[in-house]
């Protein structure tokens, strides 16, 4: 009986064994290599043409400690950089063109879809208006007179900042690239890792979600849309689509009720696969009534900005809006917001910004939406965005509208809130102390920098309450 059971196996052709991948397995492996190639092409393109760093530097920092399922392929696949055309190509399969990322002014690098060749670059959307040169103006709009002497214990402050670099004080194995501390609106501490500086941009990862929230706030102030109303996502407007009831505010608060496979819903197809916002973000079904469940999701932020694009109508205006309405009025002239290949902003992750530009953004939030005497955000917007409403995440952090709330975090004032992103990006605001902290990093997967410990250490070196303005 046992021999009879074995005979069919013994008669199989030699080429078919348990170790041979099936056609489906081969297809999945090819697709995974395509995503890895897109990760490498996009990162190298942005590192070199947004940040001015080299491929060798990126290979040693930005391209290590990434998602484990792509790490081996990202390191192994060959990249070709065309400095004149400002493109990066990464081959992954003999039967298909390489993955291509192409740079444009202001809009940074866009990935072409899998299978597209270089001819598709000519069709990429562009916004070529040159950013204003504001460096000679006084801080915070410009760079002049940015530095001030801290009120407090300067030695303790310096020690707290120094400990963020290559020490275990705030966590094991992290990689800090830059720190800025603002007190009373000016820089009282600033330090960078070798290869980085005040004007070196990095990917913000999910700090971009907070920028997206502020962009919605600016649009609200201009009367372009009302966050309390249903989000005008074009793909949801068919009669009977229940998603048409989801409000922009629910998208900003991660309470849309939309399905996501994982917390953060790994948006690899959009981030690294060349898919568009309209293709990848709009198709998820409802799994909970809107406003009844907190689920941190990249797509929610992407959808809020997609709705703003639809409300804007004019494509040229939609492409210019982040820059003319938010970044440039703040002096964030070295900040790049990247799009998909059809012009949809990936404003959940793919913004490249400097530490000083993010400090300016933090100052806008610390000053309740005012900047240099001008109101950019609606009166009360910051208060609303830092007030929990509806379902909340578990743990030490609460969530407002694209901003993390640190009122339950040990050792920091109850009004502390932050924009936070992958690989250790933090913009931490302590309104009661007149303090903004920016920490940039390239932390490997699983190596977390502790923002509460860092904030507490910095505040211990600074004098108490903020002075009245």
pLDDT digits (tens, 9 = 90+) for 109-127: 999 999 999 999 999 999 9
> CATH 3.40.710.10 region(s) of the chain?
154-460
Contact in structure between 90 and 40 (CB atoms under 8 Å)? yes
Residue 265's pLDDT is: 66
284-294: average pLDDT:
96
pLDDT of residue 2: 40
The dihedral sign for the CA sequence 402, 403, 407, 411 = positive
> What pLDDT digit, counting tens, does each position of 69-93 carry?
999 999 999 999 999 999 999 999 9
Crossing angle of the two packed helices 207-221 and 298-312, in degrees rounded to 10: 30
Instruction: Please report the pLDDT score of residue 261 as a whole number.
Output: 78
Are 312 and 224 contacting, i.e. CB atoms less than 8 angstroms apart? yes
239, pLDDT greater than 90: yes
Give the whole-number percent of the chain exceeding pLDDT 90: 90
Mean model confidence pLDDT for the chain:
94
Q: Quick: pLDDT tens for 11-51.
A: 444 444 557 889 899 999 999 999 999 999 999 999 999 99
Residue 63 above 80 pLDDT?
A: yes
Tell me whether strands 417-421 and 435-441 are parallel, antiparallel or unpaired: unpaired
What average pLDDT does the segment 422-443 reach?
98
Residue with tokens 């890895």: 36
User: pLDDT tens digits, residue range 142-192?
Assistant: 999 999 999 999 999 999 999 999 899 999 999 999 999 999 999 999 999
pLDDT of residue 463: 87
| Whole-number pLDDT of residue 86 | 98
Instruction: Confirm if 441 and 207 have CB atoms less than 8 A apart.
Output: no
- pTM recorded for the entire structure: 0.94
Q: Which residue has the higher pLDDT, 410 or 290?
A: 290
Q: Span 446-468, mean pLDDT?
A: 89
Contacts 24+ apart (CB under 8 A), 430-433: 430/366, 430/455, 430/459, 431/366, 431/368, 431/466, 432/465, 432/466, 433/183, 433/459, 433/462, 433/464, 433/465, 433/466
- Secondary structure class of 449 (helix, strand, coil): coil
Q: State the Cα–Cα distance between residues 62 and 67, nearest whole angstrom.
A: 12
What kind of fold does domain 154-460 have according to CATH?
A: Beta-lactamase (3.40.710)
Position 18 scores a pLDDT of 58
d(CA 460, CA 454): 10
Q: Is the dihedral of CA 8, 11, 15, 19 positive or negative?
A: positive
Residue 390 confidence (pLDDT)? 86
């Amino acid at each position: 009986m046992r021999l009879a059971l074995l005979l069919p196996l013994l008669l199989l052709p030699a080429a078919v064994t348990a170790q041979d991948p099936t056609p489906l397995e081969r297809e999945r492996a090819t697709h995974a290599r395509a995503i890895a190639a897109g990760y490498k092409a996009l990162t190298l393109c942005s590192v070199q043409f947004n940040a001015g760093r080299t491929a060798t530097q990126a290979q040693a920092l930005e391209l290590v400690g990434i998602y484990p399922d792509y790490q081996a392929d990202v390191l192994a696949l060959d990249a070709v950089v065309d400095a004149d055309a400002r493109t990066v190509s990464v081959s992954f399969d003999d039967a298909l063109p390489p993955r291509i990322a192409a740079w444009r002014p202001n809009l940074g690098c866009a990935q072409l879809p899998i299978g597209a060749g270089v001819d598709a670059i000519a069709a990429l959307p562009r916004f070529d208006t040159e950013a204003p040169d504001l460096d000679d103006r006084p801080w915070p709009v410009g760079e002049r007179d940015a530095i001030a002497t801290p009120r407090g214990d300067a030695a303790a402050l310096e020690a707290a900042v120094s400990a963020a670099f290559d020490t275990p004080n705030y966590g094991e194995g992290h990689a800090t690239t830059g720190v800025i501390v603002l007190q009373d609106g000016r820089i009282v501490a600033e330090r960078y890792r070798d290869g980085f500086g005040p004007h070196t941009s990095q990917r913000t990862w999910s700090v971009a979600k907070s920028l997206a929230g502020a962009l919605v706030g600016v649009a609200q102030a201009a009367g372009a849309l009302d966050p309390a109303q249903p989000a005008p996502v074009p793909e949801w407007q068919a009669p009977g689509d229940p998603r048409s009831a989801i409000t922009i505010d629910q998208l900003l608060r991660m309470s849309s009720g939309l399905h996501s496979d994982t917390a953060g819903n790994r948006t690899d197809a959009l981030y690294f696969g060349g898919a568009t916002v309209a293709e990848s973000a709009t198709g998820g079904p409802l799994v909970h009534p809107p406003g009844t469940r907190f689920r941190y999701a990249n797509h929610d932020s992407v959808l809020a900005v997609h709705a703003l694009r639809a409300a804007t109508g004019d494509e040229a205006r939609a492409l210019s809006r982040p820059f003319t309405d938010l970044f440039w009025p703040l002096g964030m002239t070295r900040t790049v917001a990247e799009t998909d290949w059809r012009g949809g902003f990936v404003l959940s992750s793919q913004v490249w910004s400097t530490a000083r530009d993010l400090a300016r953004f933090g100052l806008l939030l610390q000053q309740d939406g005012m900047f240099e005497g001008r109101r950019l955000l609606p009166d009360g917007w910051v208060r609303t965005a830092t007030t929990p409403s509806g379902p909340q995440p578990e743990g030490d952090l609460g969530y407002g509208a694209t901003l993390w709330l640190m009122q339950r975090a040990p050792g920091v004032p109850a009004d502390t809130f932050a924009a936070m992103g992958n690989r250790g990006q933090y913009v931490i605001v302590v309104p009661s102390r007149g303090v903004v902290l920016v920490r940039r990093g390239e932390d490997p997967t699983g190596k977390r920098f502790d923002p509460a410990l860092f904030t507490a250490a910095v505040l211990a070196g600074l004098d108490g309450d903020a002075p009245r303005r």
